[in-house]
Amino acid sequence: MQRLYTSCADAETWKQHLADPEKHWRTGYSAKTLAYCWQAAQAEERGLPREVADAADAVPGLKGLALLVGLPEHKVALPGGSRGSQTDLWFLGRTAEKTVSVAVEGKVKESFGPTVGEWIGGDSTELSGKPKRLDALRKILGIEEKTELGAFRYQLIHRTASAVLEAQRFHSKAALMLVHSFGGSTNFDDYREFTGLFGEQRGSRGIFKAGELGETEFYLGWVDGDHKWLAV
């Protein structure tokens, strides 16, 4: 588990934290776009891009959300295997009443990756480790064992779990998994279907409370970012 971090002097500093900097640090793609957007937002009083602050303020439980500390490409250890979830940006935020664990997933035109069924790859043996990981994620997110997950995007499941796990680690009362999109609605249907796992009313753009996981308030959100950051 990583415990020591270096500061981000500017957006270009984020590049060093990528798994493959040469491949992923490209103009018009999510890693670079998200970095420049959020780095510029540090000049704001609350440290959030305006569209994120507005979306949080529209939800009673997150009104006034401000960034306390943010960690680009933050790796969160997940139970049931050795590989963690590398979040584009994780930050600990605060409102007037509580701290909030927020996992931000940046997207332009990139997909959310394989479905759970594709990830499992037809191998349901205990030797693969994947069924054990999936069972652990189900428990974290309160998803019933009888719920079929094969058609849902695996990335959305483990990224959301990472927000909840960090909320528990930092004794925060709330967790939010936020998709910050700069490419329109390319992946919105996948996100919307995923939100349906947590209630009959599927999420639209903005942030909504998806429920409670133990003592942790649980939120999901999709926010569209300013397209000017695609050109940096």
- Over residues 76-106, the pLDDT tens digits come to 999 987 789 999 999 999 999 999 999 999 9
Looking at the domain assignment, is residue 24 inside a domain?
no
Around 186, how many Cα atoms within 13 Å sit in the side-chain half-sphere?
A: 15
67 pLDDT more than 80: yes
Looking at the domain assignment, is residue 27 inside a domain?
no
Looking at the domain assignment, is residue 74 inside a domain?
yes
Which is higher by pLDDT, 6 or 113? Answer: 113
Name the average pLDDT for the chain.
93
What's 164's DSSP letter? H
**What pLDDT, in 10s, does the model give residues 16-32?**
988 888 888 999 999 99
Looking at the domain assignment, is residue 179 inside a domain?
yes
Looking at the domain assignment, is residue 21 inside a domain?
no
Looking at the domain assignment, is residue 2 inside a domain?
no
The pair of three-digit structure tokens given for residue 220, joined into one six-digit string: 């999901």
**According to the model, what pLDDT value does residue 128 have?**
75
The pTM is what? Answer: 0.94
CB neighbourhood size of 73 (10 A): 18
Domain that holds residue 183: 34-231
The pair of three-digit structure tokens given for residue 192, joined into one six-digit string: 């919307």
Looking at the domain assignment, is residue 38 inside a domain?
yes
Which is higher by pLDDT, 156 or 186? Answer: 156
Please count the structural domains in the chain: 1
- Name the amino acid, one letter, at 231: A
Measured CA to CA, the distance from residue 165 to residue 78 in angstroms comes to: 8
